[in-house]
Amino acid sequence: MKGDKLLYYSLLPFAAVVIAAFILLFAVISYTSAPAIKEYGWRLFTSSAWSPSETGPKSSKYGLLAPLYGTLVSSIIAVILALPVTISTVLVIEEYAPPQTRDLIGSLIEIMAGLPTIVYGLWGLEVLAPILKVHVYSPLHQLLGFIPLFSCRPFSGYNILTAGILLAIMVLPYMVAVARDAYRSIPMTYKEAALAIGANRYEYAKIMMGMIKPGLIASALLGFGRAAGETVAVALVIGNVPLISSCLFKPGYTISSLIANQFSMAPLYPYMMNVLFTGGLILLIIGVAANSVAVIMISRSRLR
């Protein structure tokens, strides 16, 4: 039909721009990081040195290991903290809360998702970190200092654990949204079946969570992806020191906060821009990989 073809071809260019934007993103980031990878090779990923020099690439030392470590650890902490809260919130909203409370919690979660990330960052910097240091980290260190995770003295509230806690708060609403979708896709008959065999609320919840396991994995993956890419909020609370330590009270760095802090100086040093883009490439790969696996999990979790 002629009209249909016309409609198709007049809308098509806009869709094509979306595809082109994504391809361009990949191309530009890969292309700009290539010189750094060529110059420094594997050292980029196996060292934590960061000493830029204006004289040339040979005298500069760049390593992304510590930021990569910080990105992974802070994001993993975020997901570990947020997952139990996610599961609880979904159960409370979908099963146990009276309708009005349910709507209230739902609205609060939506507001949480929409608040600008910089507001979380400022709050983390000026409110959360000082409180955590005095009321959580110091007691933890005194009581459980024999555990390596808490073995070092918390000199300030700005460390990997604070970044992880702040990220947990920030990714929670996304994780709830994904897990809630999965929960809602459970057909009524399965719920009835669980109740029909006499399950109490704990057993019932366990059966339901087993049923949406792929959805929960997707929720965790998407939360991880978001946490890994978060930039300004983390940059304000993590301390920005390229350290690798088993102690969570030590400051750290993440790839995105490294980019945020160093980008403005990068044009002054040879290869530094390329190194930062290599960091960007890692973030891109983490983001796309987490998303792709999550999409597969979500399609698997469709129970109807």
Partner 1 sequence: MDHAIIVEKLNVWIRGNHVLKDIDLKVPQGSVTAIMGPSGSGKSTLLRSINRLVELVPGTRVKGKVMVFGRDIYSEDPYRVRKDVTMVSQTPNPFPHMSIYDNVAIGPKIHKLVKSKKELDKLVRWALEKAMLWDEVKDRLHEPPTVLSGGQQQRLCLARALALKPKILMLDEPTANIDPVNSKKIEEAIKALVRDEGITVIFVTHTPAQAVRVSDFIAFIYNGRIVEYGPSRELALNPTHELTEKFLRGEIG
Partner 2 sequence: MMDSRTIKEKAFLITIFILTLLGVTPVFYVLASVFYKGIEAFARRGLGILIKINGGILPALVGSFVLSILSTIIGVVLAFVAGLFVAEFPNSWVSKATRVASRSLLEVPTVLLGMLVYIILVVPTGHFSLLAGALALALVMLPYVMVHVEQALESVPQLYKEAGYSIGMSRAQVLFGVSVGIAKRGIASGVLMGFAKAMGETAPLLFTIGAARSSLPCSILSPGDAVPLMIFQYAQMPQEYYHDLAWAGSLVLVIAFLVVFFVVRRLVKEVRY
Interaction with partner 2 in 87-126: which residues (CB under 8 A)? 87-89, 91-92, 96, 105-123, 125-126
Q: What is the spatial distance between Cα 7 and Cα 31, in angstroms, rounded to a whole number? A: 36
Report what 186 binds from partner 1, partner 2, none; CB cut-off 5-8 Å by kind.
none
CA dihedral sign, ordered 72, 78, 84, 87: negative
Q: Tell me, residue by residue from 154 to 193, as one string, x for binding to partner 2 by CB under 8 A and - for no binding.
A: ---------------x--xxx-xx----------------
**List 2, 5, 58, 304, residue binding partner 1 (CB under 8 A):** 2
Local structure of residue 61 (DSSP, 8 states): E
Indicate which single residue of 80, 127, 144, 197 sits in contact with partner 2 (rule: CB under 8 A). 127
The CA distance from 211 to 183, in Å, is 9
Number of Cβ within 10 Å of residue 203's Cβ equals: 13
Among 14, 100, 188, 304, binds partner 2 (CB under 8 A): 14
Site for partner 2, residues 231 to 290, rule: CB under 8 A: 231-232, 235-236, 256, 259-260, 263-264, 276-277, 280, 283-284, 287-288, 290
- Spell out, one character per residue from 3 to 42, where the chain touches partner 1: x when CB under 8 A holds, - when not: x---------------------------------------
Find the radius of gyration of the CA atoms of the chain. 23
Lay out the site mask for partner 2 across 16-55 (x = CB under 8 A, - = otherwise). Answer: xxxx-xxxxx--xx--x-----------------------
Identify the H or E element spanning 272. Answer: helix 272-301
Q: Are 148 and 268 in contact (CB under 8 A)?
A: no
In the chain, % helix, strand, coil (3-state, to 5) comes to 75, 0, 20
- The nearer residue to partner 1, 3 or 84, going by C-beta atoms, is 3
| 3 state SS of 244 | coil
